[in-house]
Amino acid sequence: MTKQAITTALITGASSGIGATYADRLARRGYDLVLVARDRKRMEALAARLREETGVAIDIIQADLTDAADLRRVETRLSEDEQIGLLVNNAGASAAGGLEGTNADVQDRLIRLNVTAVTRLAAAVVPRFVAKGEGSIINIASVMAFIPEAPSGVYSATKAYVLTYSQSLQEELGPKGLYVQAVLPAATRTEIFERSGIDINTFSGLMEVDELVDAALVGFDRRERVTIPPLHDASQWDAFETARRAMQPNFAQEHAAPRYRG
């Protein structure tokens, strides 16, 4: 999408990793930026470099999206700033241990960041996008949305929500001009592992963050609804979607399936 159509992108989790790389790539495409994260010092360093290298305008919002007051400040910016035409919902976290190994407070914080913040920020900007008849949202999900068997606590469940929520947004509001892309990384070399207390050396097949974001932006340019950079055989996703949709007409039944009736 050209800068004439979108002038500013707001990126959450923009101080490092995937978010910082999106900031770099979008600035080089001519987008002005609003960077959102907890680490102001890192965002200021990133903003200074990108201003010098690209000449774009960059604002910084220091915010913890698990804090209700901070989240509302970002929502207000999204709902009121007419220049923002792209929201990159990237901020997210994981935690070491499975469901038994993490307490309720840790699980609640993950849900507030990975689910509640994603939902509220999209809800803040969608009315303006729909009224204008254009606007885009990139939601960073994960291939873990397909792997409930993994001992990842509530992380897999939160990313399954992000995927389904993105698809629902696109299905309902795509005809009104909204474009929503769900990006599903696999293990990517970012700080999420260290912050979650997970040893990155236990993972194989780590993708570099530059390659991930560049691939995701190819999907964005193609207007893919779901982009899975590590999946080489796209027919597997197509088969998954075909099977899912094939079940839908069979759900409306007055009686339980014979296998459940004695």
Active site residues: 155
- Where helices occur in 133-233 by DSSP H, the ranges are 155-173, 192-195, 209-221
Residue located via tokens 């309720």: 104
Amino acid in the structure at residue 240 = F
Q: For helices 155-173 and 117-132, what crossing angle results, to 10°? A: 10
Token pair for residue 158?
């939160």
* d(C-alpha 240, C-alpha 141), whole Å: 17
Contact 63, 79 (CB under 8 A): no
Q: Report the SS3 class of residue 60.
A: strand
